[in-house]
Amino acid sequence: MSSIVVVGSLAFDSIETPFGKAGKVLGGSANYFSLAASYFAPVRCISVVGEDYPREQLDLFRQRQIDTSGIKLEKGNTFHWEGRYGYDLNTAHTLATRLNVFENFAPEVPESYRDSEFVFLGNILPALQGQVLSQIRHPKFVAIDTMNFWIEGQKQALIEVIKRCNCLIINEAEVRQLTESYNIVQAAKVVRSWGPKILVVKRGEYGAILFDGDEMFGMPGLPLAEVKDPTGAGDTFAGGFMGYLASLGTKFASSRYQLRKALVYGCTMASFTVQDFGFKELIGLNREKIDQRYHRFVDLTTFHLD
Amino acid sequence: MSSIVVVGSLAFDSIETPFGKAGKVLGGSANYFSLAASYFAPVRCISVVGEDYPREQLDLFRQRQIDTSGIKLEKGNTFHWEGRYGYDLNTAHTLATRLNVFENFAPEVPESYRDSEFVFLGNILPALQGQVLSQIRHPKFVAIDTMNFWIEGQKQALIEVIKRCNCLIINEAEVRQLTESYNIVQAAKVVRSWGPKILVVKRGEYGAILFDGDEMFGMPGLPLAEVKDPTGAGDTFAGGFMGYLASLGTKFASSRYQLRKALVYGCTMASFTVQDFGFKELIGLNREKIDQRYHRFVDLTTFHLD
């Protein structure tokens, strides 16, 4: 089993959906990613929090084999995001972004993290993603996420970091924007021309699709009778995806079925997150419960049998 | 092998997409459905055309084992639809609908059609769908499609016909509108409470999803490097779906894997239609080419192997 370094945000989220409202719940890409990945492999987290961030959440991380030595505690308030969703839960509308302690964040990778083989560069300023990557000695598999904000303001810097990664994990609307290609097969070619062999496109309730060279693999989302809040689903997905790959340890070979199963584990983990506000549903899972849910995806898509 | 009765439109379409324009091509639900289904089973078509409808198209039907004795030729012009798509090819914008000979259409089922076991009630006035169904002696499997126009203006009449069917095949936005339920699992329950055991939801490039009692089956669309025009994809899907089921003949049992394979054949046929304007891509296929494309769906979604 290999360990995974993740850099991303630890935050408070205030969320409104047609199905309810959450005042100020814990969130941020590093929270969702780390919790999801921790069911598969040891996680080493790099982030920053303010004085208002609850200590118990860091204790929870430590209980779940998530290393917190790369999480800085700074004076001031924790990053705070406010957002709203309509019935179309695939698109978030940002109401307010308070960077707070994130404004002057300069990620430092602790010495004890630097031998990690798997790296997930969560959605932050591209230059910082690059700084983290530079501090890892011999990364074996690096995945990166981003968002429209950086595509609009930091496109060249972003592409420079993407070039150094094996895999881009990104929302469908954002890969179209980034590659200036509406067609997703064409978009995958553009990404490949930059460097990453693998592109994973997140499609919300429509699941995800993977491009690996000329290979394609698609998985619909699991239809659920109740979906309350999609916040964090994408980072949870990445956690399941990277977690499964890291769990393969020395058997990891970036092979066809390894990547495909990793994608299904990503969808599996994300299907828990959307069932409630925050990451409540990611607490108290175990590999058995996860594999039961995974088998619902097997069942959802099996047809070529007689 | 059982035969299929279809009622629907034969039409001219004028279409604009970001990828091109088609002045006045042959279209209509009965054209797409019949051509797709004819690769699997004999088709018996019920429709009406005007004097401007090309004879050669009816000859083409006859060459492809599509019975045209239920197609009326009336004085006046053929039904004409004008539409436009943006980059989001999942939503058609109607610019003009000229019903022409369709205005006074009263479908009559020829005596030679009345013993058919499979029935597809294409998207027309619900009362006419009901009239066709009443003229079939012992239908074994009846599927129905509809659209927002009838949901808005004829909802009660529409639900009355749906009650008499085994299967509703419908676009995602429209099943939400029809059932007044945004959540698709809930929508499936509403449809089931009306009568049909089976609901097939068409999701454009995201493929399709099938609900059969508590069973669910999902299939993503096949990502294609070039998609020119989605017009007719839904009817083509229905043709592949119903065609495969009818091809089972006495083996048809509405079973789990039969329905699942039928859905994949539906997606398979639709993937041809979207590659060009009109139904050009549906001409000159054969079962071998179709099965090759079907196997691309197997390949797209297989993951649970070691």
| Distance between CA atoms of residues A203 and A172, nearest Å | 6
Task: Choose the closest CB to B223 out of A184, A223, A298.
Answer: A184
Which pLDDT band, with edges at 50, 70 and 90, does A113 fall under?
very high
| Interface residues on B facing A, Cβ-Cβ cutoff 8 A | 18, 87, 182-186, 203, 206-207, 209, 216-221, 223-227, 257, 260-261, 263-264, 298, 300-306
Look at B219 and A224 and tell me if their CB atoms are within 8 Å. Answer: no
What is the tens place of the pLDDT at every residue in B52-89? Answer: 999 999 999 999 999 999 999 999 999 999 999 888 77
Q: CA-CA distances (angstroms) from residue A53 to A11, A59, B100, B207, B249?
A: 8, 12, 68, 43, 65
Partnered with residue B218 across adjacent β-strands are: B209
Distance from the Cα of A227 to chain B's closest Cα (Å) equals 8
What is the tens place of the pLDDT at every residue in A42-84? Answer: 999 999 999 999 999 999 999 999 999 999 999 999 999 999 9
* Percent of chain B predicted with pLDDT > 90: 88
Whether the Cβ atoms of residue B169 and residue B137 lie closer than 8 Å to each other: no
Q: Of A206, A222, A261, A303, which to mutate for an interface test with B (greatest number of B Cβ within 10 Å)?
A: A303
Task: Choose the closest CB to A216 out of B182, B263, B300.
Answer: B300
| Interface residues on A facing B, Cβ-Cβ cutoff 8 A | 18, 87, 182-186, 203, 206-207, 209, 216-221, 223-227, 257, 260-261, 263-264, 298, 300-306
What is the tens place of the pLDDT at every residue in B243-298? Answer: 999 999 999 999 999 999 999 999 999 999 999 999 999 999 999 999 999 999 99
| Integer-rounded Cα radius of gyration of chain A | 18
Length of chain B (residues): 306
Look at A223 and B207 and tell me if their CB atoms are within 8 Å. Answer: no
- Kindly provide the ipTM of the predicted complex, given to two decimals: 0.93
Helix, strand, coil distribution of chain B in percent, nearest 5: 40, 25, 35
Distance from the Cα of B267 to chain A's closest Cα (Å) equals 13
* Chain B neighbors of A304, CB-CB under 8 A: 261, 298, 302
Residue A176: closest CA among chain B residues belongs to which residue? B87
CA angle A17, A19, A20 (to 5 degrees): 70
Task: Choose the closest CB to B300 out of A18, A217, A300.
Answer: A217
What is the tens place of the pLDDT at every residue in B31-58? Answer: 999 999 999 999 999 999 999 999 999 9
What is the tens place of the pLDDT at every residue in B232-250? Answer: 999 999 999 999 999 999 9
For residue A306, the model assigns a pLDDT of 52
Structure tokens, A116: 């990690």
Which pLDDT band, with edges at 50, 70 and 90, does B163 fall under?
very high
Task: Choose the closest CB to A185 out of B87, B223, B260.
Answer: B223
What is the tens place of the pLDDT at every residue in A122-142? Answer: 999 999 999 999 999 999 999
Helices (H), B94-154: 126-134, 148-153
| Distance between CA atoms of residues B116 and A272, nearest Å | 46
Look at A209 and B186 and tell me if their CB atoms are within 8 Å. Answer: no
Look at B87 and A182 and tell me if their CB atoms are within 8 Å. Answer: yes
Task: Choose the closest CB to B186 out of A207, A220, A225.
Answer: A225
Distance from the Cα of B245 to chain A's closest Cα (Å) equals 14
Closest CA to A243 of A221, A269, A216, A223: A269
* Percent of chain A predicted with pLDDT > 70: 99
Distance from the Cα of A179 to chain B's closest Cα (Å) equals 14
Q: Please, what is the average pLDDT of chain B?
A: 95
Segment A28-35 mean pLDDT:
97
Look at B206 and A209 and tell me if their CB atoms are within 8 Å. Answer: no
Burial of A14 (0-12, 13-18, 19+ CB in 10 A): middle
Look at B216 and A300 and tell me if their CB atoms are within 8 Å. Answer: yes
For residue B305, the model assigns a pLDDT of 64
- Spatial CB neighbours of A226, under 8 Å, sequence gap ≥ 6: A19, A275, B183
Structure tokens, A296: 């619902």
Whether the Cβ atoms of residue A29 and residue A9 lie closer than 8 Å to each other: yes
pLDDT of B306 above 70: no
Distance from the Cα of B17 to chain A's closest Cα (Å) equals 13
| Distance between CA atoms of residues A212 and A258, nearest Å | 12
Q: CA-CA distances (angstroms) from residue B125 to A140, B109, B137, B303?
A: 60, 16, 21, 43
Closest CA to A35 of A296, A271, A237, A248: A237
Which pLDDT band, with edges at 50, 70 and 90, does A23 fall under?
confident
Look at A186 and B225 and tell me if their CB atoms are within 8 Å. Answer: yes
Task: Choose the closest CB to A261 out of B203, B221, B303.
Answer: B303
Closest CA to A31 of A52, A54, A51, A15: A54
- Spatial CB neighbours of B138, under 8 Å, sequence gap ≥ 6: B115, B117
* Chain B neighbors of A216, CB-CB under 8 A: 223, 300
Residue B88: closest CA among chain A residues belongs to which residue? A182
Q: CA-CA distances (angstroms) from residue B180 to A167, B152, B155, B189?
A: 40, 12, 12, 12
Prediction pTM value: 0.95
What is the tens place of the pLDDT at every residue in A198-227? Answer: 999 999 999 999 999 889 999 999 999 998
Look at B263 and A306 and tell me if their CB atoms are within 8 Å. Answer: no
What is the tens place of the pLDDT at every residue in A261-279? Answer: 999 999 999 999 999 999 9
Look at B300 and A220 and tell me if their CB atoms are within 8 Å. Answer: no
> In what order do the strands lie in the sheet containing B11-17?
B20-27, B11-17, B79-85, B92-98
Q: CA-CA distances (angstroms) from residue A227 to A17, A120, B179, B186?
A: 10, 27, 18, 11
Look at A257 and B303 and tell me if their CB atoms are within 8 Å. Answer: yes
DSSP 3-state assignment of B237? helix
Given the structure tokens 């959450």, which residue do they identify? A22
Q: Of A176, A267, A304, A306, which to mutate for an interface test with B (greatest number of B Cβ within 10 Å)?
A: A304
* Chain B neighbors of A224, CB-CB under 8 A: 183, 185
Residue A188: closest CA among chain B residues belongs to which residue? B225
